[in-house]
Amino acid sequence: MPYELRRQDFYTGLILCAVSLGVIFESWRMPRELLGWPAYAGPGIVTGLLGLGLLSLAITLLIRAWRRPGAGLIISLVEVRNYLTDPRTLHLGIMCLLSAGYLLILGRGIPYAFTTVCYLILTMLLFRATAWWAILVISIVTTAAIAFVFNRIFLIPLP
């Protein structure tokens, strides 16, 4: 059936609308002037534009899913129960909680490098990415590279 994903597209569109509105809201709260540069050069501009782009794509997905023939948009309790007990859903939930926790802790007085290294280590350990020593090396090198690029090349201070 070519239209069996109608329902999934519709609910994914709703979720992406909520996420993109959150991105737009948070980008508006970012500092508008950094190092004396004009407001259009602040970090919130690119983030806000990406949020607007994601919102437009999510609305397009919603409209296409709404108009498309196929499975109804109403979901039964059995389908919800099956979705919630699926191991992939559990992994998605764990990743969302880890990411939300990381974002909430970031910039609260704990150094960026420590927070990011811990987040990467925890994420890779939970999902059994590779050996512990490789996880440690990858986390440290990635955090150092991100900090270098933002602080030295883009001149954007990290929290």
Tell me, what's the pLDDT at 30?
76
Tell me, what's the pLDDT at 53?
94
Q: Are 11 and 74 in contact (CB under 8 A)?
A: no
pLDDT at 43 over 90: no
Tell me, what's the pLDDT at 140?
95
pLDDT at 139 over 60: yes
Q: Are 14 and 62 in contact (CB under 8 A)?
A: yes
Tell me, what's the pLDDT at 120?
94
Can you give the three-state secondary structure of 58-84, one letter per residue?
A: HHHHHHHHHHCCCCCCCCCHHHHHHHH
Tell me, what's the pLDDT at 1?
45
Q: Are 112 and 157 in contact (CB under 8 A)?
A: no
Q: What share of the chain is helix, strand, coil (3-state, %, to 5)?
A: 75, 0, 25
pLDDT tens per residue across span 9-39? 888 888 899 999 999 898 887 776 666 666 6
pLDDT tens per residue across span 76-116? 788 778 878 888 888 888 998 999 888 888 877 888 889 99
pLDDT at 124 over 60: yes
